[in-house]
Amino acid sequence: MKSLALPVIAICLVLLPVARRAGPDRAPAAVLFPNAPRTAEWRTYADYRWGARPGNGGSYEKIPFWHEPTYDRDNGSHVVDYGADAPNGEWPSQLSRLLAADDVPGGGNVLEIRFPKGFPGGYAPARIFRHPRYDGNGLSWSPSSNTGFLYIGLHFRFSPGFSPNGNVSQKLVYANSNASGNASLNHVPLNLRTSDGRRGLYPAYEPQQPFGLYQVPAEPENDVNDGRWHLVEVLQEPNTPGTKNGRIRIYIDGRLAGSWSKALLFDRGQTPSLNSLSLNTVFGGGSNPVPADQRLMLGPLRVMGR
């Protein structure tokens, strides 16, 4: 993933196909995210329903896009798609879009990420961050409001036959921090790993700087690459910096699929704090290209911390 030097911001609007706005009924978070923390010290940073419900940012019809060096205006989604980072390719300028989907948990819209045939492995077709013109919580928040405790719940579905093409993973969510000592930290709390290069995808938490891997067993009940909607929830408790005493739990469709009590998430000299996420859908962890046109649909997303 390339680092982004943010340019001077101008205002620009590009219209995309309109996604349907859903009705007022909204599935409660307790139903959509059964393992989300319930105690008072936890706060909700983001609750995205992709414009279909009055969640984080209310109702909107597209994801703003970065047209270097300008941005689409913040339309209430409070995010921006920086687009594909793949070199030497003729790809559509924006590979993310909102679509109506009757089957999405909670009803309403989905955020669709397209992976066109030939797109190179090791790069992301969409990189979605907090909009730089938005100052509230969402995909990033004040580092002082987080002490390393983090919850992420995400509903998603791959198109039937989605293939990682022999690569080692399909990344979904990155976590970063601008707290003291954390500049090199680049965690992947929601990563999907392959097993021996086969089609199955199994949830994992992959810290980077410090490095580690916490993956659920590669068993059939943990495979989320079957064309159906799945919910993966990740709950982390921080370690003492430099000591392997952190805790990670991964739930699949409400079921505890993996638990670790000796995790190393923060190294010596780092501060137990995470304060930004990105939907950075890197294909691969290898160089094999996308073998055929395929898609990833993202449904409701909840982010919490303390």
User: At 221, phi and psi to the nearest 5?
Assistant: -70, -15
- How confident is the model at residue 9, as a pLDDT? 36
User: At 116, phi and psi to the nearest 5?
Assistant: -75, 150
Pairing of strands 70-72, 11-12: parallel
For 203-222, letters b (16+ CB in 10 Å) and e give bbbbbeebebebbbebeeeb
- How confident is the model at residue 11, as a pLDDT? 33
Pairing of strands 169-176, 283-284: antiparallel
- How confident is the model at residue 90, as a pLDDT? 77
**What letter represents residue 35's amino acid?**
N
- How confident is the model at residue 58, as a pLDDT? 61
Half-sphere exposure of 52 (CA within 13 A, CB side): 26
User: At 276, phi and psi to the nearest 5?
Assistant: -155, 145
Q: CB under 8 Å to 44, separation ≥6 — which residues?
A: 137, 302, 303, 304
Segments of the chain with pLDDT less than 50: 1-3, 5-25, 54
Judged by DSSP in three states, 32 sits in: helix
pLDDT in tens, 42-86: 999 999 989 865 455 567 888 999 998 899 999 988 999 999 998
In CATH, 44-305 is 2.60.120.200: yes
**What letter represents residue 60's amino acid?**
Y
Distance, CA of 306 to CA of 301 (rounded, Å): 17
Q: CB under 8 Å to 302, separation ≥6 — which residues?
A: 29, 32, 33, 36, 44, 46, 47, 48, 151, 152, 153, 154
CB atoms within 10 A of CB 200: 18
Judged by DSSP in three states, 168 sits in: coil
Task: Classify residue 22 by its DSSP letter.
Answer: P
What are the DSSP calls for 261-297, one per residue? EEE--S-TT--S---EEEEE--EESSSPPP-S-EEEE
Distance, CA of 214 to CA of 26 (rounded, Å): 33
Q: Retrieve residue 264's tokens.
A: 């190393």
**What letter represents residue 193's amino acid?**
R
Distance, CA of 143 to CA of 273 (rounded, Å): 6
Sign (positive or negative) of CA dihedral 128, 156, 218, 267: positive
144, with CB counted inside 10 A (0-12, 13-18, 19+), is exposed
Number of H helices, E strands in the chain: 1, 19
Which residue carries 């680049």 as its tokens?
186
pLDDT in tens, 98-134: 998 889 998 878 999 999 999 999 999 999 999 999 9
